[in-house]
Amino acid sequence: MPVAAQVLRHAQATPARLAVQGPHGGLDYAALARRARAGAHHLAARGTRPGTLVAISLADPVEQLVAVLAADLARATPLLCDPAWPAGRRARIMAALPAALHVAEPLAAAPSARAAAPAEIAPRPDDLAWANFSSGSTGRPRAVIRTRASWLGSFPHLNAITGIGPGDVLLVPGPLVSSLYGFAAVHALATGATALVLGRWSPGTLPDLLRTATAVHLVPNHLPAVLDALAEAGGPLRVAIAGGAHLPAETRARAEAAGVRVVAYYGATELSFVAVDADGTGLRPFPGVEIEVRPHPEAGHGLGEVWVRSPWLSAGYAGGAPGPLRADAGGWMTVGDLAEPYRAGEPLRVRGRGDGAIQVGGATVVPEDVEAVLRRAPGVRDVVVVGAPHPRLGAVVAAVIETGGGPVRRAALEAAARDGLDPAQRPRRWYVTPALPRTPTGKPARALVASRLADGDPAIEPLA
């Protein structure tokens, strides 16, 4: 997925074209190529070898991309980490991963004299060329590994669908540690376009950025703010690529009224693109994707489980970490998403995750990951995490704590959440109950908890 070879070609053909612009400055293609080469020297001097996993924890998104390209030139596998992780959590995650090197400072801008230059890049489609954390990673990290072809080969299809080309300026308004935004940035670089990378969601900067941006790649819940800023500042924005959650019909209609075409898609970190809705008529298979909705005995309501076979699938989790990704002998994969029965030629109607996963904006939060952290907090006998409706994010995390009648302090719960969870995973709503309802096998009955919570069961009380 890293695109060093493409960046080097663009540096020869259009050296002065702006490649990437971040909050603290930018680089044209020639400068980006020079920085990547110097970074590759630096990594080689630190012992990086082909095939090794290089963890990257940098706050500046431009420096993140430099390090990613440098790792690619060194034939290593870059893994973007969240620089905001507390030190203790970062140490736990790094200890659980087979990372040979951790880059926590910007790479040198000049070649190192301590190591020979890495061998000339000879990228292969099956190179393990990218890794990123799936949404919902905690102390049980799940770093998804991708081959070069699994994303790089999808770029021409996405360009054909969206009309994006070398003359575009693509706004990437979120953190590159997210697979969606990381993909968006390197897609722009592979295409020869300009990537405007914010590093984090910052609505106040949108009016200035939209004066030059011709395209934006984002999660659906951020599109209304982009349209607000476009109405204020104007600009050449013509297409919005939205993925990661359901796109409301009214948001699409508002964008089209503003002259912005919306291309929405459904996928997963582990599966990449699955289906795309380019005109508001429903999700259809992304080019090269086969879809089956298979019967699932526990789905209920006539729903089935979405299985996918395509060139865009990931290679699984680093270090063999457990996770929702499953595969069969025929090359099909699933992460447990549920959908209505599907026939080729009809729209795919996705209805959520069969494992109770919660869509918080563009992040998929796995309840078991949050529960594993909260169970360590004082006073917690057990816990169930469910989604609670939210007008802007779609859902937020709600935690129902089983106390057994003993005391539990919200401050202690929130401290545990801050130390072990990403922002999207942290509960926004806290409840307590003496005893959770359980299944015949003794497990907490998650669906029943969610139902009782929605019905206002007095036995589940808000925690002040």
Question: Is 358-462 a CATH 3.30.300.30 domain?
Answer: yes
Question: At residue 26, what are phi and psi to the nearest 5 degrees?
Answer: -145, 175
Closest C-alpha to 53, from 94, 1, 7, 4: 94
Q: Which CATH architecture has domain 4-339?
A: 3-Layer(aba) Sandwich (3.40)
Write down the pLDDT at residue 33: 96
What are the tens digits of pLDDT across the range 107-121? 988 776 555 555 555
| pLDDT bucket at 252, cuts 50 / 70 / 90 | very high
| Spatial distance between the Cα atoms of 161 and 164, rounded to a whole number of angstroms | 8
Write down the pLDDT at residue 119: 54
Placement of tokens 């360590």 in the chain:
376
Average pLDDT of the chain to the nearest whole number = 88
Write down the pLDDT at residue 110: 79
| pLDDT bucket at 324, cuts 50 / 70 / 90 | confident
Q: What is the pTM of this model?
A: 0.80
What are the tens digits of pLDDT across the range 67-98? 999 999 988 999 999 888 888 877 877 777 87
Write down the pLDDT at residue 353: 66
In percent, the amount of the chain with pLDDT more than 70 equals 92
Write down the pLDDT at residue 114: 59
Please give the C-alpha separations between residue 292 and each of 320, 332, 335, in angstroms, as whole numbers: 26, 9, 13
Residue 341 CB neighbours (<10 A): 11
Residue 301 has pLDDT above 80, yes or no: no
| Spatial distance between the Cα atoms of 380 and 297, rounded to a whole number of angstroms | 32
Closest C-alpha to 395, from 373, 420, 427, 431: 427
Burial class (CB in 10 A: 0-12, 13-18, 19+), 455: exposed
Closest C-alpha to 100, from 136, 75, 137: 75
Mode of pairing for the β-strands spanning 261-268 and 239-243: parallel
Task: Confirm if 391 and 361 have CB atoms less than 8 A apart.
Answer: no
Which alpha helices (H) appear in 294-403, and where do they start and end?
Answer: 367-374
Q: Residue 221 has what DSSP assignment?
A: G
| pLDDT bucket at 381, cuts 50 / 70 / 90 | confident
Write down the pLDDT at residue 139: 43
| pLDDT bucket at 137, cuts 50 / 70 / 90 | very low
What are the tens digits of pLDDT across the range 219-244? 887 899 999 999 999 999 999 999 87
Residue 134 has pLDDT above 80, yes or no: no
Write down the pLDDT at residue 357: 74
Considering only residues 87 and 166, tell me which one the structure prediction assigns the higher pLDDT.
166
Q: Residue 310 has what DSSP assignment?
A: S
| pLDDT bucket at 442, cuts 50 / 70 / 90 | low
Contacts of 150 (CB under 8 A, 6+ apart): 1, 272, 311, 312, 313, 314, 315
- Which residues are 268's β-sheet partners? 272
Write down the pLDDT at residue 58: 95
Work out the angle between the directed axes of helices 410-420 and 367-374 (0-180°, nearest 10): 120
**Across 11-15, 291-295, 322-326, 413-417, least confident range:** 322-326
Q: Domain coordinates of the chain in residue numbers?
A: 4-339, 358-462
